[in-house]
A and B are shown apart, each in its own frame.
Chain A
Amino acid sequence: MLKNKSQNAFFFLGYYRTFAAIFREPKNGVLRPIFLSDMRKPFLSQFLFVAALFLSMSAFAIAEESKDDEGGKDLKTEITDYIDHHLKDSHDFSLFSIKQDDGTKKHIGFPLPVILWDDGLKVFSSSKFHHGEAVAEVDGNHYKLYHSKIYKTDAAGTINYDEKHHATNAKPLDFSITKGVVMIFITGLLMFLLFRGLAKSYAKNGSIPKGVGRFFEPIVLYIRDDIAIANIGEKRYKKYMPFLLTVFFFIWFLNMFGLTPLGVNVTGNISVTVALAIVTFLLTNLTGTKDYWKHLFDPLGDSMPWFGKLPLYVILIPIEILGIFIKPFSLLIRLYANMQAGHIVVMSLIGLMFIFKSWIGSPLSFGLAFAISLIEILVALLQAYIFTMLSALYFGFASEEHDHAEAH
């Protein structure tokens, strides 16, 4: 009975692992054969299947991770550390790690190039860090990974802390190809191949999409009709279309990758969302029309004489100017926080499965994690939609041409 109890949590995992094997096979390509090619099957069952895959894989990864060294830390800290580590970008692409007979961890994955600017370009493989366990020595400088960041240290790898336990070592400029960068690159490549294929299939089949394109074309049309045209207007929507389409699929795909056991959290990384929001910000303000700027600096227009407007503008104009920055800022925080929170919740619930280790607790947290995973799949789409939608809305404000003064 006791034996059963401890293995209980792995029952489901074992079951799903068979699917996982199919899923991981490289010749299957990236997700496509499983959930995009055959749309005739009932949508819900496929949806559940995919969700189950994602969840099981993450659970598998966490299980392998947390099993390792039960001697050193307790399970709770182990899981917390794992989640913390997962949420951050990392310098090597590790899928999971297993404990070897001699007690050392063996990481399955591959190292990525580290590119540092520290009085000259330093390029080396991240395998030199040995997953943060060793000090890398390059050209006489020593570097060490601490909480997924590279610090410059002495030969022994000492890290100095301030009173808040923050590392005070010097940080070289880090332009490494991290896991996130690899995923961005893969997503970009996937998108390029996918939509290049769609574009080509039009030429080949006389304006009728074929294959995967059939799934994506309605989405492209939806973005055009209900996001771009609805918010920007028939006349000016065209120049924003490339950005809107790219950003939608980019965020959506990366969100979906985040749910896979690849363990990437790209859209839940503040640097990525900042970059995306900056593009929106620049596009909004660089394409702003005269009316947009007039609306910013003269929101009341001719409805009041200048001496009446002056005291109001002392308050109004700073608010309007602040608004320019708050809009993209809310975009980036929303995406970041949603994805981050989703990952934390799913992984914590999976972690609970191994903390409870009981007949009631584990299936319960498994069910919860499963339900949250389902919601996360929707959130992945929703956040991409919201980001695109709000960007389009801001572009709409920026490119309006009619006199808007009477509306205030």
Chain B
Amino acid sequence: MTIPRIVGAGLIVIGVGVGIGKIGGQAMEAIARQPEAYGKIQTAMLIAAALIEGIGFAALFATTELDG
């Protein structure tokens, strides 16, 4: 059961990485376009990233901690 779990964890990390990377990239773009809105964009970015991260952690726990 270990290998499927590790693969699952890897998939989760890929998904979360893509998600947070996209948020970060888009935020950069937005900041480049509107440098004066830096603060607001950063806040929104962090919140979105934090939410995705939270779900990612929940999923990671599910893969590693659930007894199967």
Q: Is A145 an interface residue (CB 8 A)?
A: no
Q: Is A398 an interface residue (CB 8 A)?
A: no
**Which single residue of chain A is at the shortest CB-CB distance from B49?**
A386
Interface string of B35-56 (1 = CB under 8 A from A): 0000100010011001101100
Interface residues on chain A, size class: 10 to 19
A230-B39, A337-B57 known; A386 and B51 CB under 8 Å? no
Per the bound structure, the CA–CA distance linking A393 and B58 in Å amounts to 21
Quick check: A334 and B39 within 8 Å, CB to CB?
no
Interface string of A337-376 (1 = CB under 8 A from B): 1000000000000000000000000000000000000000
A residues in contact with B53, CB < 8 Å:
334
B residues in contact with A386, CB < 8 Å:
46, 50
Per the bound structure, the CA–CA distance linking A386 and B53 in Å amounts to 11
B residues in contact with A230, CB < 8 Å:
39, 43
- Which residues 1-51 of B sit at the A interface, judged by CB distance below 8 A? 39, 43, 46-47, 50-51
Give the number of A-B contacts (CB < 8 Å): 29
Quick check: B54 and A334 within 8 Å, CB to CB?
yes
Per the bound structure, the CA–CA distance linking A270 and B54 in Å amounts to 15
Interface residues on chain B, size class: 10 to 19
Per the bound structure, the CA–CA distance linking A333 and B47 in Å amounts to 15
Per the bound structure, the CA–CA distance linking A334 and B53 in Å amounts to 7
Q: Is A390 an interface residue (CB 8 A)?
A: yes
- Which residues 226-255 of A sit at the B interface, judged by CB distance below 8 A? 226, 230-231
Per the bound structure, the CA–CA distance linking A337 and B53 in Å amounts to 10
A residues in contact with B58, CB < 8 Å:
330, 333
CB distance from B30 to the nearest CB of A (A): 17
**Which single residue of chain A is at the shortest CB-CB distance from B60?**
A337
A230-B39, A230-B43 known; A390 and B61 CB under 8 Å? no
9 contacts between A and B (CB under 8 A): A226-B39, A230-B43, A330-B54, A333-B54, A333-B57, A333-B58, A389-B43, A390-B47, A390-B50
Binding site for A on B (CB under 8 A): 39, 43, 46-47, 50-51, 53-54, 57-58, 60-61, 67
17 further A-B contacts with Cβ under 8 Å, apart from A334-B57, A385-B46, A386-B46, are: A164-B67, A226-B39, A230-B39, A330-B50, A330-B51, A330-B58, A333-B54, A333-B57, A333-B58, A333-B61, A334-B50, A334-B54, A337-B60, A386-B50, A389-B46, A390-B50, A393-B47
